[in-house]
Structure 1
Amino acid sequence: MDLSVMFFGADSATPTASTPAACGGFGGHERAYQDILALTRAADRLGFHAVWTPERHFQQVGQVFPSPPVLSAALAVATERIAVRAGSVVLPLHHPLRVAEDWAVVDNLSHGRVGISLATGWHSADFALAPDHYADRRERTLRAVPHLRALWAGTAAQYPDGTGAPVQLTPHPRPVQPHLPLWITASGNPATWEAAGRLRTGVLAATAGHTRAELAERITRYRAAAAAAPDQGGTGPRGRVTVMAHTFVGTSDAHARHLAARPLKDYLASYTRQSAADRAGDPRTAALTPQQTALLTDYAFERYLAWGGLLGSPATCAAFLADLQALGCDEVACFIDFGIETDEVLDQLHRLAELRKALHR
């Protein structure tokens, strides 16, 4: 089983810096990008399999991630061997031609290290970028997979031009990899897991929101669908399961809990507020009082400690990784930027790297 690092975004509403940029330091979001680069370089040196970055728009959570290909281009030239992946590209917000072109640039800059997970999108505000694509966003995403693969392979496709007339177009530049490594981002809907299997893409999912039994059942469904599907120039008949988990490997369970508790609870509260602003979301989330939100985040944190979070001592985290491996997971994307100080995150990367080595013995 492979270990990767994942950024997902923990931001204050009004970022500040202890050292102003004018005095030779980095401030606000500039500091965030420098931290991402530093942590990714460290992950590259320490042998992690991939670095994943998301696509987020218009919200407090993930302010520095509006453009996965732009950030991935920077990560590509800052590293040597680590795979550079988007988790995820919200495909209904983009034209497939543009996705193929942008990521072919990154593939060239990285010498063939890119991969992307395709998401349908969920927050209604995101679709200010493509309001007509919101209602059928899931169908659009699944329908586009074979087209995106064909464009990546250099097959011309017909689209209307500025006059409305059809025109045959081939994206450029040509990528390094003949096949684009693809995942589909799945939540708890079994139909999405099965669709990923039928399309022979990988699947990217979170441990959060699943019980152990639910995750096992989703993986079984996915494997069966992939095994029954024809070859499509994607993953093999077994597929590839990547799971995301909030991660902090401490020197002890108490150390991990002490450092992770407040930042993770703050992050979860911010995420809850973002969900409340989604017009298609559960109205009960919007009705939560601050006290109820605090109780919810306390409960979520305790659940992550019990199962679902890679939070604890090296021994505790090794046991959880062994459990995920037994369930059939191929890769764990370790979500590291939920608010813990960068120096502490860098320290834990070294402890996590030791666990990575143990998985490959």
Structure 2
Amino acid sequence: MKFGVHFLLPCGAGQTPAARYRDALAQGRLAEDLGFESVWPAEQHTIPSQSVLSCPTLFLAALAARTETILLGTAIVQLPLFHPLRVAEEICTLDVISGGRAELGVGRGTHPAHYAGFGADLAVSRGRLEEGLDYLRAALPGRPFDFQGSNYTAEAVQVVPGPVQPGGPVIRLAANSADSFRAAGRAGIPVLTALHINPPAVLVRHLDIYHAARAEAGHRAAAPDDITVLAPTFTARNEGEVARLMGPAVDHYTALMRTNLTTAIGRTGDPDGLFTRLLSGLDRLDLAAMRTEQAVFGTPETCAETLASLAARLGTGRFLAWFDFVGTTPAAEVERSMRLFAAEVAPRLATPAASSID
């Protein structure tokens, strides 16, 4: 199994954005030193309590200057908010700067505040996402291309600079709904999904849709590397430390999500029902419940058992650990958890021939 580190950057009490970025970049550098395969920051907009990370490619460019080998992926760029040519230019520039280490995670995004901030229409976002994916697949190899769609057109356009990687950076689609899994399957591209949004039983059903769509479209069967799972993660020496640090984190997460989801439902009426389902689930969410299905919290032994179960149930070969998911955990504790995970969790899931945690 390959392991990466995920970043969302809410500021903790009394923490400035500058301090939050400083800590996250240091943790990204530490991730490389510990042998993690990749780093994945998420794009968020206009809600500082949720995150101050609005430009993941800029964050990754700064990290590229501090690292040498770790893969640099976006998880995610909200593709319908931007012209896909601009997205292609940014990720190819990152690929050049980093010496061919860029990967492009894209998604639709569903928070109405993000769309309102850009004056964009959430109602047409799925069509823009799927057409944007087609555009990116034509653009990322770096050769001149033509494109004709409902939202975007191109005639002999070329991404400059072209990528270092032949064919361009890998595209991964964030998928947390049946429609997104189906779209990824039809396109034959890898998926990136979040355990805190869909528990394993739901993901099994969604992945069945993904596999069926791949087969129907004539694509090869998905490999473990095509399925990336992200989850809040914390590893500690004993259960007391898990409770001391993750109990307040889960409480803060629940309160933050309740506010954000209530606001989102008020703006849109929640036509897909996703926000309402997530909101109702918060009434039952505490540390014990989150550990059952939505997070990987525990001692090295219990974290390894949880990950082995996920790999078996979901067929995933890639896991992104979200070590500080709400900004309440001190940076020193986050780094201690990263070190323990790398030393005592990852090796339990590595093949005998593996020399590092990828």
- Please show how residues 26-37 of structure 1 align to structure 2 within 5 Å: 28-37=16-25
Q: Which residue does 1:307 correspond to in 2?
A: 293
TM superposition shift of 1:294: 12
TM superposition shift of 1:87: 0.6
TM superposition shift of 1:282: 4.5
Q: Secondary structure at the match of 1:78?
A: coil
Please give the alpha-carbon distance, in whole angstroms, between the structure 1 residues aligned to 2:103 and 2:221.
15
Q: Which residue does 1:263 correspond to in 2?
A: 249
Q: Secondary structure at the match of 2:192?
A: strand
TM superposition shift of 1:353: 0.4
Matched, 1:193 2:181: yes
Q: Which residue does 1:2 correspond to in 2?
A: 2
Question: Which amino acid in the other structure matches residue 10 of structure 2?
Answer: A
Q: Which of 341-350 and 75-84 deviates more? A: 75-84
TM superposition shift of 1:134: 2.2
* 8 A contact 1:92–1:140 mirrored in 2: yes
TM superposition shift of 1:226: 2.4
* 8 A contact 2:145–2:154 mirrored in 1: no
Matched, 1:59 2:47: yes
TM superposition shift of 1:236: 6.8
Please give the alpha-carbon distance, in whole angstroms, between the structure 2 residues aligned to 1:320 and 1:3.
14
Q: Which residue does 2:104 correspond to in 1?
A: 116
Q: Which of 262-271 and 135-144 deviates more? A: 262-271
Please give the alpha-carbon distance, in whole angstroms, between the structure 2 residues aligned to 1:129 and 1:76.
29
Matched, 1:182 2:171: yes
CA shift in 2, pair 1:359/1:129, >3 Å: same
Q: Which residue does 1:73 correspond to in 2?
A: 61
Q: Which residue does 2:349 correspond to in 1?
A: 359
Please give the alpha-carbon distance, in whole angstroms, between the structure 2 residues aligned to 1:197 and 1:112.
26
Question: Which amino acid in the other structure matches residue 299 of structure 2?
Answer: S
Q: Which residue does 2:14 correspond to in 1?
A: 16
* 8 A contact 1:185–1:203 mirrored in 2: yes
CA shift in 2, pair 1:116/1:236, >3 Å: farther
Matched, 1:340 2:329: yes
Matched, 1:240 2:213: no
Q: Secondary structure at the match of 1:315?
A: helix
Query: Quick one: which of 80, 83, 87 aligns to 2:75?
Result: 87
CA shift in 2, pair 1:42/1:209, >3 Å: same
What are structure 1's unaligned runs of at least 5 residues? 18-27, 288-292
Please give the alpha-carbon distance, in whole angstroms, between the structure 2 residues aligned to 1:210 and 1:285.
10
Question: Which amino acid in the other structure matches residue 124 of structure 1?
Answer: P
- Please show how residues 203-352 of structure 1 align to structure 2 within 5 Å: 203-230=191-218, 237-238=222-223, 240-278=226-264, 279-282=267-270, 296=282, 299-327=285-313, 328-338=315-325, 339-352=328-341
* 8 A contact 2:211–2:221 mirrored in 1: no
Please give the alpha-carbon distance, in whole angstroms, between the structure 1 residues aligned to 2:65 and 2:41.
15
Q: Which residue does 1:139 correspond to in 2?
A: 127
Please give the alpha-carbon distance, in whole angstroms, between the structure 2 residues aligned to 1:221 and 1:263.
33
1:270-326 deviation line (CA, Å, top 9, x unaligned):
122122222125499999xxxxx9993662433212222100111111110110110
TM-score (norm 1): 0.85
* 8 A contact 2:3–2:38 mirrored in 1: yes
Please give the alpha-carbon distance, in whole angstroms, between the structure 1 residues aligned to 2:24 and 2:2.
20
Please give the alpha-carbon distance, in whole angstroms, between the structure 2 residues aligned to 1:295 and 1:324.
21
Q: Secondary structure at the match of 1:60?
A: coil
CA shift in 2, pair 1:125/1:114, >3 Å: same
Question: Which amino acid in the other structure matches residue 342 of structure 1?
Answer: A
Please give the alpha-carbon distance, in whole angstroms, between the structure 2 residues aligned to 1:326 and 1:118.
26
1:24-59 deviation line (CA, Å, top 9, x unaligned):
xxxx11110110111111110111111110010011
TM superposition shift of 1:201: 1.3
Please give the alpha-carbon distance, in whole angstroms, between the structure 2 residues aligned to 1:112 and 1:90.
22
1:34-89 deviation line (CA, Å, top 9, x unaligned):
10111111110111111110010011344321111111111112111111111100
TM superposition shift of 1:117: 1.6
CA shift in 2, pair 1:258/1:115, >3 Å: same
Question: Which amino acid in the other structure matches residue 171 of structure 1?
Answer: V
Please give the alpha-carbon distance, in whole angstroms, between the structure 2 residues aligned to 1:8 and 1:67.
11
C-alpha RMSD over aligned residues: 2.7
Please give the alpha-carbon distance, in whole angstroms, between the structure 1 residues aligned to 2:301 and 2:226.
26
TM-score (norm 2): 0.86
Query: Quick one: which of 144, 153, 156 aligns to 1:156?
Result: 144
